[in-house]
A and B are shown apart, each in its own frame.
Chain A
Amino acid sequence: MARYRLDDRGILTIVDDRDGVLIPLARAARAASIILLCLVAAVSVWLFLSFYLPCEDSNAALRLCGERLSGLSPWGLPGGQLESAPFLEEAGEAAGALNRQAASMGEILSGMAEKCWELFQRIDEAVRAHL
Chain B
Amino acid sequence: MTVPGIVFQIAQVLCVLSLAIEIAVSIASLYIMLVNRYAERAQALDQLFSAGARVRTSALCLLALLFCIANKSSTVDGVSILAALSGVCRMYASLSLCVLVLGLLLCFVAVFRRVQDGIGRKIWKSALVSMLAGFALSWLFAVE
Residues of A within 8 A of B (CB): 1, 19-20, 22-23, 25-27, 29-30, 32-34, 36-37, 40-41, 44, 47-48, 51-52, 55-62, 64-65, 68-69, 73, 75-78, 82-88, 90-92, 94-96, 98-99, 102-103, 105-107, 109-110, 112-113, 116-117, 119-121, 123-124, 127-128, 131
Contact = CB atoms under 8 A, between A and B. Distances in A.
Interface string B36-48: 0000110111011
Secondary structure type dominating chain B contacts: helix
Contacts of B77: 60, 86-87, 90
A32 B73 contact: no
Contacts of A123: 95
Interface residues of B, number: 69
Contacts, number: 217
Interface of B: 1-10, 12-14, 16, 19, 21, 28, 40-41, 43-45, 47-48, 50-52, 54-55, 57-58, 61-62, 64-65, 67-84, 86-87, 90-91, 94-95, 97-98, 135, 138-144
